[in-house]
A and B are shown apart, each in its own frame.
Chain A
Amino acid sequence: YFKISSLTKKYPHLSGALFQTFNDLLLAQRWYDLEIRETLTAKHVIIEGKRPETHLTHIVVPCHLSDSLSMKWLTSIFEDLNDVPELYLAIISEDSSIVYYRISSGIVKPQS
């Protein structure tokens, strides 16, 4: 967890969410080629990795249930990531439960 520990000083409020999400993706969801990156304007940390089902690269944005988000924040993350079409928001609770929701840029029909 070298990469994570190096970022916890800079993003103390994110350290819990980041750690939990990384572990969940790696061990429970079995994602691979995980990388941790910082976003510029949004001042946030994201995890990039490959899903075993699709073998495509996806982006996960961790946050806490108690965080305060906004349209501005979400759109700036999309911009920082070079207008990637979609990302997964990972929401962590106090008891370390994680739920993932897909957020797509624009009007995108349901994919399920």
Chain B
Amino acid sequence: MTKIPLYISNGHAYVWTVEDASELRSKHRICGTLSGTLPHLSQQNFFLGLPLLLMPEEVVLLVENGIAVMVDDATATREPSASDLREWDESRKQVVAEQIEQWQQRETARQALEMTNGQGKGRMSEDALQKRKERLERKAREEGAANTIDENLVISRPTPGPVLQPQSSYMVQIPSTSLSHSWYQPRRYDTLDSAKQAGIWQFPSTLEERASYHVFRDLWEKGHFLGSGIKFGGEFLVYPGDPLRYHSHFVASVLPSHSAEIRPMEIVAHGRLVTATKKSHLLCGWDEETGKVTYLSLEWSGFG
């Protein structure tokens, strides 16, 4: 089974295809956040698109479980060689030639149909057809001269010979990803250690980060869906099912050790907010010595 590629750029992990994003969500309960916006919309808060941005906890879990692989995005593309570019140019010419051929076939068929139709409106006279042909040939020659690539390259396009019925426009496809180019050769990392050594990924590196990761992992293993808790003043939101279908039941906060201080004021703040939104607060204590997470659920008493 092929691993899902996570493109690491500046310490962030992105998922770039719809298939990967939906597989992560439906098969692995990893939702991430969509972060793509439209270039001409100055403020966008809703209806975001790809790429999907993953939380560092989600990345570590996926890599440790062998579901995903980290791809070093920044160094993935090398400078194309002269032969690389020749091949690329040839394939583009091939696409254009095919389009012209198809167009010619359609044109021949269309004109044959027109001539047999007799006095159809819009039927051109012989003179008009000849003038049109000359005009198109002239245009193709001009375009042919302008279609050489960068002058630094030792590639020149041969001037087009007389074409029977030249086409003045054709489509050139620009692929939306670099994946098909021969000069795209990404370095992939299957383990966190190898990614750390390569310098592209550091999480988790502090006790707080480790605690956060282990709490995330423990809750995920218990079957929950998890999201960012920023909107409710916690580390994570814990959902009983897909966030598109359910509201979260818990706001989780992470305590990096069992002796970490909990101030009564925090209990008041967490408890009050959470009860007002029909949730519970989950105090999650990470014990590095035993490797276990302890949970306490908190809400307002309803009296007092």
- Taking a contact as CB atoms under 8 Å apart, the answer to whether B280 and A103 are in contact is no
| Tally of A-B Cβ pairs under 8 angstroms | 103
- Taking a contact as CB atoms under 8 Å apart, the answer to whether A102 and B258 are in contact is no
B57 at the interface (CB under 8 A from A): no
- Taking a contact as CB atoms under 8 Å apart, the answer to whether B250 and A107 are in contact is yes
CB distance from B287 to the nearest CB of A (A): 8
Chain B residue at minimum C-beta to C-beta distance from A111: B299
CB distance from A95 to the nearest CB of B (A): 14
Interchain CA distance A67-B267 in the complex, whole Å: 12
- Taking a contact as CB atoms under 8 Å apart, the answer to whether B275 and A112 are in contact is yes
- Taking a contact as CB atoms under 8 Å apart, the answer to whether A103 and B303 are in contact is no
- Taking a contact as CB atoms under 8 Å apart, the answer to whether A68 and B296 are in contact is no
CB distance from A75 to the nearest CB of B (A): 6
Q: In the assembled complex, which residues on chain A have CB atoms less than 8 Å from the CB atom of B282?
A: 107
- Taking a contact as CB atoms under 8 Å apart, the answer to whether B299 and A101 are in contact is yes
Q: With A65-B265, A99-B268 given, is the CB distance from A71 to B283 under 8 Å?
A: yes
- Taking a contact as CB atoms under 8 Å apart, the answer to whether A70 and B262 are in contact is yes
Interface string of A76-112 (1 = CB under 8 A from B): 0000000000001111000000111111111111111
A29 at the interface (CB under 8 A from B): yes
Interchain CA distance A110-B240 in the complex, whole Å: 12
A64 at the interface (CB under 8 A from B): yes
Interchain CA distance A108-B281 in the complex, whole Å: 9
B285 at the interface (CB under 8 A from A): yes
Q: In the assembled complex, which residues on chain B have CB atoms less than 8 Å from the CB atom of A67?
A: 264
A9 at the interface (CB under 8 A from B): no
